[in-house]
Structure 1
Amino acid sequence: MPATHHVILDTDIGSDVDDLMALALILGTPSLELVGVTTVYGDTALRARIVARVARLTGRSFPVHAGLSTPLSGREVWWAGHEGALYDDLDAETFESDDAVGFLVDRVLARPGEIDVIAIGPLTNIAAAIERDGRFAGAVRHLWVMGGTFTDDEREHNFRSDAVAARIVFDADIPTTVTGLDVTRLIDVRAEQVERIRDSGPLGALIDAEIRQWWAFWDTQWNVPHDPVTVLTLVTPELFTFSPLGRISIDENPADPGLSRHEVSGGLTRVTRLLEADAVSARMVDGIADAAPVAER
């Protein structure tokens, strides 16, 4: 069995279904130990309650902390409007605190060099942790980021939503792997895969409903699993091709922020270049389906 990685997930779960899929994949992967989950961007308390519900559905126990709601850039939060709509009595769910930044700092500094952080939303919490304690950046084992695009001039949502935070994070010299839209779009999720996930148990049924809600929102019959792909760059790196190490620059132009560039010259950041589509897709679906409640294992 691969060595265990101790991970904190930082997420804007509740809008695009891929955050929920990433959380399920982590829970269904024996080589990952979930140290905790932090939420970011918009109504982070609602997002934290969604995570708490997932924990209860799967019989798991891990700390959940709500984080920063407003981007450091001051950019207006994009809100789909359906967040939490599929969860009955969501207000009954509880979480540990509204200080996700404090949790990140305390937990990482307690175990320097041991904890991977998987950041699949705007990088506001991570940037704030870097600024709160100068030791944080040097104590993270590795940062795994979903964001940007590196083959054209498109602005990806996470970097565009808080370009200031992204710049702070990439200037901090944390060992980092970034997976952008140019790679995550090489696979998608379609009906036959959704059926496999749906039949795996209560969490699978919830993911199925969230996927179909997302399809209805965009009037499609498919979606791109950006965030689970990012998780798999940690779990199965052999299925990916990465660039040499370098540095990422972020355009903070308020009128159209978030343009990302990777330059191979010094630095500790690599970007994902390619993936083995069939193998990544199969591993993703299997891992999500394996996030069954403990009682069913």
Structure 2
Amino acid sequence: MSARKIIIDCDPGIDDALAITLAHGSPALEIVGITTVGGNVNLAYTTANALRLREFLGFPEVPVTAGSAGPLLRDPWNEPDARDTLAARRRTPKDAANVHGEFGLGGARLPEAVLPPRDGHAADFIIDTLRAAPGEITLVAIGPLTNVALAVLKEPRVVDWAREFAILGGSYTRGNYSPAAEFNIAADPESAAVVFGAGWTVTTIGLDVSRQALAVGRIVDRMRAMGRLGTDLLVPCVEFYGMVTADEGPAVHDACALAYLIDPSLVTLEPAVVQVETAGRYTSGMTVTDFGLAGRAPNAMVGTSIDVPRFWDLVLTTYENVAGRLGG
């Protein structure tokens, strides 16, 4: 069976780095492009991190194309007066540098990249790449959805050209940016609303799945034995991301979406109608998920659970394959 071709739209970001490493190491996937968006840290850093990862991991032939620095309509730097109801509804996260570190990769310090990004805008790269191979390439977004929304608005046929569209984003229970909203959706709710309303079925791997995949002590110990990959990238990222004990550890969110693409049987999906709250003062960015459908056609297949032991078997085996190529 040939590898599934994918474009990764991302905002590296610790969990993005873990996801890109997984995608690169899996024979089931072929990365045909990486596009970057401002999110976990600013666009300059997310793009620089994607370039560093490309060279450190060893796939310099894959184009990296920068995209949107901020949300479609909102000011990402807005800190409104809490008494101003309208402004409060327009508030978006600045970034998640408090979680991912100032430069986005936690404690990892990869060498500066030598090769530059590709010219042009990420949205145009997505359009052109999908147009050239309709039905062959899966688009996976693991950051804010601004680039994807721009591509859909500029060329609505991308909905038909994509083999599948999968995201790490949303939640049908509780958020991590606010009680109601997950960060990637809250960072640009209007773009998320465009994407979910575009006419395709969005495969949604959200917090309800990713919070089950924890990097506990035995997982990190195995990473630590992976030579340069473990000592220079994996362990400094994971240990920066959250406290690691024998029974607890940080969730490796974005890796879950890439693991699903490698082996869809890992994740249980349920059809649903997902709508994105854009106006709520306390719920902006919430993915309102209706599993009842009531005769409506679903616009999403929503992840509800993941086989955690099989997930980690897949991830760690793949990382070990990458580590073997890197040596050290």
Q: Same fold (TM over 0.5)?
A: yes
Distance in structure 2 (CA, Å) of the matches to 1:28 and 1:156? 28
Counterpart in 2 of 1:83? 103
Distance in structure 1 (CA, Å) of the matches to 2:123 and 2:113? 23
After superposition, the Cα gap between the structure-2 partners of 1:293 and 1:56, relative to the gap in structure 1 and judged at 3 Å, is farther
Distance in structure 2 (CA, Å) of the matches to 1:261 and 1:126? 20
Instruction: Tell me if 1:237 matches 2:254.
Output: no
Q: 1:35 aligns with which of 26, 32, 36?
A: 32
Alpha-carbon deviation of 1:240?
Answer: 1.9
Amino acid at match of 2:102: H
Instruction: Find the residue that maps to 1:291 and give its secondary structure.
Output: helix
Q: 1:108 aligns with which of 130, 149, 171?
A: 130
Alpha-carbon deviation of 1:199?
Answer: 2.5
Instruction: Output aligned runs, 1:20-99, within 5 Å.
Output: 20-42=17-39, 43-60=42-59, 61-76=61-76, 77-80=94-97, 81-84=101-104, 86-87=108-109, 90=112, 92=114, 94-99=116-121
Alpha-carbon deviation of 1:84?
Answer: 5.0
Instruction: Tell me if 1:289 matches 2:311.
Output: no
Counterpart in 2 of 1:162? 188
After superposition, the Cα gap between the structure-2 partners of 1:229 and 1:79, relative to the gap in structure 1 and judged at 3 Å, is closer
Aligned length in residues: 289
**CA offsets 1:113-141 (integer angstroms, 9 cap, x no match):** 11101101110100010011122121111
Instruction: Find the residue that maps to 2:190 and give its secondary structure.
Output: helix
Greater mean deviation of Cα atoms: 263-272 or 222-231: 263-272
Instruction: Find the residue that maps to 1:112 and give its secondary structure.
Output: coil
**CA offsets 1:262-290 (integer angstroms, 9 cap, x no match):** 33320342101112121112222222332
Scaled by the length of structure 2, the TM-score of the pair is 0.81
Q: 2:212 aligns with which of 179, 186, 205?
A: 186
Instruction: Find the residue that maps to 1:274 and give its secondary structure.
Output: strand
Q: 1:213 aligns with which of 217, 240, 254?
A: 240
The structure with the largest alpha-carbon Rg is 2
Scaled by the length of structure 1, the TM-score of the pair is 0.89
Moved over 4 A (4+): 293-296
Instruction: Find the residue that maps to 1:261 and give its secondary structure.
Output: strand
Amino acid at match of 2:124: G
Instruction: Find the residue that maps to 2:44 and give its secondary structure.
Output: helix
Quick check: 2:52–2:110 contact (8 Å CA) kept in 1?
no
Quick check: 1:188–1:224 contact (8 Å CA) kept in 2?
yes
**CA offsets 1:78-101 (integer angstroms, 9 cap, x no match):** 241522574365375521135111
Identity %: 28
After superposition, the Cα gap between the structure-2 partners of 1:162 and 1:281, relative to the gap in structure 1 and judged at 3 Å, is same
Quick check: 2:196–2:274 contact (8 Å CA) kept in 1?
yes
Q: 2:165 aligns with which of 127, 143, 147?
A: 143
**CA offsets 1:215-271 (integer angstroms, 9 cap, x no match):** 37xxxx721011111112221111221103x42100002633111123332034210
Quick check: 2:217–2:249 contact (8 Å CA) kept in 1?
yes
Distance in structure 2 (CA, Å) of the matches to 1:95 and 1:203? 23
CA RMSD of aligned residues (A): 2.2
Question: Any stretches of 5+ residues in structure 2 without a counterpart?
Answer: 77-93
Alpha-carbon deviation of 1:180?
Answer: 1.2
Amino acid at match of 2:289: H
Amino acid at match of 1:199: A
Distance in structure 2 (CA, Å) of the matches to 1:27 and 1:38? 15
Instruction: Tell me if 1:271 matches 2:302.
Output: yes
Alpha-carbon deviation of 1:187?
Answer: 2.3
Instruction: Find the residue that maps to 2:242 and give its secondary structure.
Output: helix
Instruction: Tell me if 1:223 matches 2:245.
Output: no
After superposition, the Cα gap between the structure-2 partners of 1:184 and 1:84, relative to the gap in structure 1 and judged at 3 Å, is closer
Counterpart in 1 of 2:230? 204
Quick check: 2:275–2:287 contact (8 Å CA) kept in 1?
yes
Quick check: 1:58–1:292 contact (8 Å CA) kept in 2?
no
Distance in structure 1 (CA, Å) of the matches to 2:30 and 2:131? 17
Question: Any stretches of 5+ residues in structure 1 without a counterpart?
Answer: none
Distance in structure 1 (CA, Å) of the matches to 2:280 and 2:95? 15
Quick check: 2:215–2:238 contact (8 Å CA) kept in 1?
no
Greater mean deviation of Cα atoms: 173-182 or 104-113: 173-182
